[in-house]
Amino acid sequence: MASIDLGDLVLDFGFRVKCCPRLKVVWHLGSAIDTDPSDRVIKPPPYTPWTGRIDVVMDLAADKKVPLLAPTFTDEVGNPVPAPAGATFVYTVDDPTIIALTDNGDGTGEAAAVGTLGTANLHLDATFNGSTATGDLQIVVVAGLAERVAINVGPPEEVTPDV
């Protein structure tokens, strides 16, 4: 892909071979569930820089996690197709201080908010038959529901006047 910097805009263009199908990975997320302290541990690499592409954006409460279910594939016009035989999958995250990522190595995994508000980008590489299809999910970690209340006090005041 080539890019031309136009100041506030960047023009991207590229080429692809017409004869070959272009597969795309589609995200399939499970229901968000509560986390426990072990889910909020920052995992070791691999980390990946953000690709700049986003296929799906989701909000996730700071005390929740979401399972990453087996990905599905589509052709270049969005028609569902069977997963290619022998496909391998690798998940990465660009900011493990926002999302703790667990990659099960089979296309499934888990993304758990570590409690810090912010945005993290998950990237999936699916490799098969010498080709790679990718998917990018942006998770925005937002505050959860109110569970505690803070007692706020003003400055101390004299109860009995000094004489």
**145 vs 44, higher pLDDT:** 145
pTM, full prediction: 0.66
Round to whole Å and give the CA distance between 75 and 93: 25
> Could you tell me which CATH number the domain at 22-142 has?
2.60.40.10
Sign of the torsion angle spanned by Cα atoms 39, 100, 68, 54 = positive
Q: Which two tokens stand for residue 64?
A: 């929740």
Give the pLDDT score at 35.
Answer: 79
pLDDT digits (tens, 9 = 90+) for 45-98: 666 666 677 778 899 999 999 999 988 888 778 788 888 888 999 999 999 999
Give dist(CA 40, CA 91) in Å, integer: 17
The residue among 69, 70, 60, 66 whose CA lies nearest residue 32 is 66
Q: Once rounded to an integer, what is the mean pLDDT over residues 115-120?
A: 92
- Inform me whether the pLDDT recorded for 20 exceeds 60: no
Say what the pLDDT of residue 46 is: 62
